[in-house]
Structure 1
Amino acid sequence: MSGGARAPQRERGPRSGDAGRVPARTEQTHDAETAPPSRRNEELRIYGLNAVRAVFARRPEAIRKVYLAEARIPALQPLLKWCVAQRVGYRVVDEPDLQKLASSAHHEGVVVDVLRAEPAPLSTWLRALPAGPQCALWLDGVGNPHNFGAILRSAAHFGVAAVLLPKDSPLALSGAAARVAEGGAEAVPLVRLGRSDNAMAQLRGEGFALAATVVEGGANVFTAALPPRVVYVLGAEGEGMDRDFATQCDLRVSIPGTGVVESLNVAAATAVLLAGWAKGRAA
């Protein structure tokens, strides 16, 4: 996550005598904790090996600072060599410091400060969208960062074109969500919507049908004939979808089950829905 407690770190680099190791260098970049407030808002602190590797692979220019455990040096050689070449600061720190930096014990030995990628406007995303079958996710009230991360992971796995965020939604990528996404946060674009009615009209104008996901009363998602372009609208954890909003969608779908539990967790439901969508495209 952005921010975090300032950790008492020692300045270190890999031992110069080790073959293939990145040479130590003097730290020249500032820590995110001491950056001006405007800069802190622009930066995101991510952690987890796959999340960090995904940022390095897709937008290395966004990397501002790297903290890592000594044991991670071999696995992160390409990143550290890039840091030296680009004069981006890195530090080798101890386990307690990594936990403080990440505000989590699940840092997997690496924490990185990166520039936050802002969601694109809906019109911009639609203009760049290739023709043909597409699937997107509209998150209506989803707020839990772990659910968000799991949704992004499934979305990346099944090739979802974007995750759509309502105009007033506070949902944003966090370090926890990026770690749970296991690299999926870098693969799936986030799109910021305007007014709901305008967004629905824009999506329909580009051939999308909106499918409200409801606990009961919807078409069986495994047998329903879905259009080539579909937006699954997913409701909040606990409350589910807003009923008025569901009636404005083009169709309603449900995931059938035994009835022993009322419904699936929103992240689990997303994986089921996307698997069904992918199967339909492969048929």
Structure 2
Amino acid sequence: MNRDRPGRGSGASLWQEAQARKPATPKPPVHRNEEARLYGLNACLAAFARRPEALRKVYLVEARIPALKNVLAWCVRHRLGYRVVEEADLDKLTASRHHEGVCFDLAREAPLALADLLARVPPAPAPSLLLWLDGVGNPHNLGALLRSAAHFGAHGAVVPAADGIEVSGAAARVAEGAAEAVPLARAPSAAEALSALRAHGYSIAATVPREGVSLYATALPARLVLVFGAEGEGMSDAMIAAADLRLTIPGSGAVESLNVSASAAVLLGEWWRQRGA
């Protein structure tokens, strides 16, 4: 059962203050399609640290009150609702048992255009790494890939607008906060996007399971876009043909290829190593 109460200690005073300061006139409702539901402790804390103004509502179990003290204080100051619930309630709210005791409703971010992403990256000839995700839609793979990208300093990821790829709650939880550090930019046209990337000094490298040059025998460009294909069918032939490099991760041959998120970690790590970091 949902319990609009804070639990013990400092949470109690926060809740009481929030009740006393409730506005007389409720805020206009935010339509569901304008909100995103995020869960997982690190994912939620990272989102709050970067965009606290996007927060709309917080659901948490009693045990998470100490870890979320600053978030609850923000809710009190800005008259936002939060609710202490049971684990089973969060299971239903998130459709997952991996919520880690917290769930946020946040205003959905506007899609980022490729031009906006390119305006944020270091200018040429400074080293810069971007990812191109050609149909990578599995949320667990996407989340793991973003986590590796953040760890190895990638500046962002490009996704075809037609794919409709978004960072879901499941992907954000797996990313452990990296979804806030690695922005996704949408590219309406692959040809125009590749042209813009090259104009900013990037080389394009397709990652292929065979018939590419060995990753460990190749000097990787300092400004590089690594292209990863969809699980199963891989990237499109057109994208492979458009690439400046085709990279293969050598291995024993016992399996055909690595999972896309594992491949990404290997390739990102090698780019980072070659930069002398």
TM-score, length basis structure 2: 0.92
Moved over 6 A (4+): 27-31
Residue 14 of structure 1, aligned match among 3, 7, 19? 7
Task: Report the alpha carbon displacement of residue 76 of structure 1 after superposing the two structures with TM.
Answer: 1.1
Residue 85 of structure 2, aligned match among 72, 93, 98? 93
Residue 269 of structure 1, aligned match among 263, 273, 276? 263
Q: Is the 8 A contact 1:215 1:254 kept in 2?
A: yes
Report the equivalent of 2:52. Answer: 60
1:226 partner letter: L
Q: C-alpha distance in 2, partners of 1:193/1:35?
A: 32
Q: Is the 8 A contact 1:21 1:74 kept in 2?
A: no
Change (3 A) 1:20 1:114: closer
- Unaligned runs of 5+ residues in structure 2 are none
Report the equivalent of 1:249. Answer: 243
**What's the C-alpha RMSD, in Å, of the aligned pairs?**
2.0
Q: C-alpha distance in 2, partners of 1:83/1:159?
A: 32
Change (3 A) 1:218 1:195: same
Change (3 A) 1:91 1:19: closer
Report the equivalent of 1:70. Answer: 62
Task: Report the alpha carbon displacement of residue 74 of structure 1 after superposing the two structures with TM.
Answer: 1.1
The residue correspondences of 1:116-265 to structure 2 (distance < 5 A) are 116-131=108-123, 132-265=126-259
- Render the CA deviation track for 1:129-153: whole Å, top value 9, x for unaligned: 2221100000001110111111111
Q: Is the 8 A contact 1:136 1:162 kept in 2?
A: yes
Q: Secondary structure at the match of 2:224?
A: strand
Change (3 A) 1:175 1:77: same
Percent of aligned pairs with the same residue? 54
Task: Report the alpha carbon displacement of residue 254 of structure 1 after superposing the two structures with TM.
Answer: 0.5
Task: Report the alpha carbon displacement of residue 127 of structure 1 after superposing the two structures with TM.
Answer: 2.4
Q: C-alpha distance in 1, partners of 2:39/2:26?
A: 18
Task: Report the alpha carbon displacement of residue 21 of structure 1 after superposing the two structures with TM.
Answer: 5.5
Q: Secondary structure at the match of 1:268?
A: helix
1:85 partner letter: R
1:106 aligns with 2:93: no
Q: Secondary structure at the match of 1:232?
A: strand
Q: Secondary structure at the match of 2:257?
A: coil
Task: Report the alpha carbon displacement of residue 169 of structure 1 after superposing the two structures with TM.
Answer: 1.0
Aligned residues: 270
Report the equivalent of 1:4. Answer: none
Task: Report the alpha carbon displacement of residue 19 of structure 1 after superposing the two structures with TM.
Answer: 5.1
Report the equivalent of 1:3. Answer: none
Report the equivalent of 2:40. Answer: 48
Change (3 A) 1:258 1:127: same
Task: Report the alpha carbon displacement of residue 101 of structure 1 after superposing the two structures with TM.
Answer: 0.6
Q: C-alpha distance in 2, partners of 1:212/1:203?
A: 14
Q: C-alpha distance in 2, partners of 1:229/1:42?
A: 35
Q: Secondary structure at the match of 1:217?
A: coil
Q: Secondary structure at the match of 1:282?
A: coil
Change (3 A) 1:160 1:56: same
Task: Report the alpha carbon displacement of residue 167 of structure 1 after superposing the two structures with TM.
Answer: 2.3
1:23 partner letter: L
Q: Is the 8 A contact 1:211 1:252 kept in 2?
A: yes
